Amino acid sequence: MKVRKEFDEATAAHRAAAGHLERARALLPKHGKAPVTDRQRALVTRLAQAALAATPGWLGHRLTGAMPGVPLGEADAAQPLSVRVGECRLDDDHRFPAVVNLLGTGHLAVDADATDPRAMSLLRSVPLRLLAARPSETLNVSFVDCCLDGEVFAPFGPLVEAGLAPEVATGEIGLAGVLDTAEAHLDHARRRGGAAADLPERLVVIAGLPPEPGAVTARLANLIASGPEARLHLVLADARVRPNRSGTRTTHVSLSGDRATVAGIPLPVRVDAEPEPELITELCGRLAANRQWVIEDDLT
């Protein structure tokens, strides 16, 4: 498939360039500041170009300021998607977008609670980007807020009102219900085998785990291990999250200190500012209206 091939090439270029940038960064003196070399400038340019290729439209557009006039639902339903999470800076003048692979690939885990503005930004901006990029009938999303009793996902209210998302789940009981639905999706995909590629994707976004998360840990581990093949993906933010080195295809974002790091790459990332709640609500209203038009077209 041509789109898949182009995506794979873009993400491969992004990862390869990131490895080169790490080595270039290591060449800088340990003490004092040195000017950025031509080689480093070229590496940053490659990174920026690869990131833009991997995150067109809503996947990489800055979610601040006025409502961007970018069309909705342009990403192919079978195309893996990456999203922008911030910006990596070699210095003030040399930077490139920080991009993580998600739909069709794996999961995203953040080691901070939603009370950290950067975690809040990721919990809101990542699903917003994916919902705007995918055709609405190809992506189902569920929200769980065990941290702020529903406040984290309140701006997504128009999706709930339009029936495009269930009510935001809260607390341990709410989380258990969402995991029930996710496990049912997983079982359904397994029964369909190769035909699972025709199922809508399911995105589960979780802001915080219960105070005693032991009862859900094994369930989450199963979803993390088996989810991608079943078109199921998780975004989880909780201060108790730790990197998993067992090859679960989960991208880990660490928010310890003033700067973030992504996937263990020792380069500082500045997480994008949280999108304004009004922007989220307006976009969700557009998504709901677009979905209604699709339903009406199907009925005529």
Q: What is the pLDDT of residues 170-221, one digit of tens each?
A: 999 999 999 999 999 999 999 988 667 889 999 999 999 999 988 899 999 9
* CATH code for the domain in which residue 130 is found: 3.40.50.300
Looking at the structure, do residues 161 and 270 belong to the same domain, yes or no?
A: yes
Which H or E run includes 240? none
| Mean pLDDT calculated for residue range 91-118 | 92
* Structure-block tokens of residue 40: 């480093």
Task: Please return the burial class of 175, using the count of CB atoms within 10 Å of its CB with bins 0-12, 13-18 and 19+.
Answer: buried
Res 6 pLDDT > 80? no
pLDDT for residue 292? 61
Domain contains 252? yes
Which H or E run includes 172? helix 171-192
Contact 61, 68 (CB under 8 A): yes
Res 23 pLDDT > 60? no
Domain contains 70? no
Looking at the structure, do residues 51 and 168 belong to the same domain, yes or no?
A: no
pLDDT for residue 9? 58
> Comparing 111 with 193, which gets the higher pLDDT?
111
Res 153 pLDDT > 60? yes
pLDDT band at 294 (very low <50, low <70, confident <90, very high): very low
Q: Which amino acid is at 87?
A: E
pLDDT band at 64 (very low <50, low <70, confident <90, very high): confident
Kindly state the percentage of the chain with pLDDT values over 90: 56
Q: Count of domains in the chain?
A: 2
> Comparing 20 with 144, which gets the higher pLDDT?
144
pLDDT for residue 209? 97
Which of 89-92's residues contact partners 24+ apart within 8 Å by CB, and which partners?
89/268, 89/270, 90/21, 90/25, 90/36, 90/40, 90/44, 90/267, 91/36
pLDDT for residue 30? 47
> Comparing 246 with 78, which gets the higher pLDDT?
78
Alpha carbon 42 to its chain's center: 27
Domain contains 150? yes
User: Cα–Cα distances in Å, from 288 out to 81, 136, 149, 165, 272?
Assistant: 21, 9, 24, 10, 25
Taking alpha carbons only, the member of 144, 35, 148 closest to residue 93 is 35
Q: How far apart are CA 236 and CA 207, in angstroms?
A: 6
| Mean pLDDT calculated for residue range 234-247 | 85
pLDDT for residue 248? 67
- Supply the DSSP symbol for 203: E
* Structure-block tokens of residue 258: 């003033």
Write down the mean pLDDT value for the chain: 84
pLDDT per position as a tens digit, 116-126: 999 999 999 99
Taking alpha carbons only, the member of 205, 198, 191 closest to residue 83 is 205
pLDDT for residue 77? 86
Taking alpha carbons only, the member of 196, 42, 30, 20 closest to residue 104 is 196
Domain contains 157? yes
Looking at the structure, do residues 29 and 95 belong to the same domain, yes or no?
A: yes
Q: How far apart are CA 97 and CA 151, in angstroms?
A: 28
The 10 Å Cβ neighbour count of residue 33 is 8
Q: Which amino acid is at 240?
A: R
Looking at the structure, do residues 61 and 194 belong to the same domain, yes or no?
A: no
Which H or E run includes 284? helix 277-299
Sheet holding 94-101, edge to edge: 94-101, 82-91, 269-271
Looking at the structure, do residues 122 and 257 belong to the same domain, yes or no?
A: yes
User: Cα–Cα distances in Å, from 290 out to 128, 136, 142, 159, 162?
Assistant: 15, 8, 19, 11, 11
Res 19 pLDDT > 70? no
Q: How far apart are CA 20 and CA 187, in angstroms?
A: 41
| Mean pLDDT calculated for residue range 103-116 | 96
Looking at the structure, do residues 277 and 159 belong to the same domain, yes or no?
A: yes
Residue with tokens 């769980």: 144
> Comparing 109 with 88, which gets the higher pLDDT?
109
Res 240 pLDDT > 50? yes
pLDDT band at 28 (very low <50, low <70, confident <90, very high): very low
Q: Which domain holds residue 189?
A: 104-299
Contact 98, 225 (CB under 8 A): no
pLDDT band at 300 (very low <50, low <70, confident <90, very high): very low
| Mean pLDDT calculated for residue range 273-293 | 86
Looking at the structure, do residues 90 and 142 belong to the same domain, yes or no?
A: no
Res 164 pLDDT > 80? yes
Contact 251, 265 (CB under 8 A): no
User: Cα–Cα distances in Å, from 38 out to 41, 85, 99, 239?
Assistant: 5, 27, 23, 39
pLDDT for residue 24? 41
Domain contains 254? yes
pLDDT band at 65 (very low <50, low <70, confident <90, very high): low
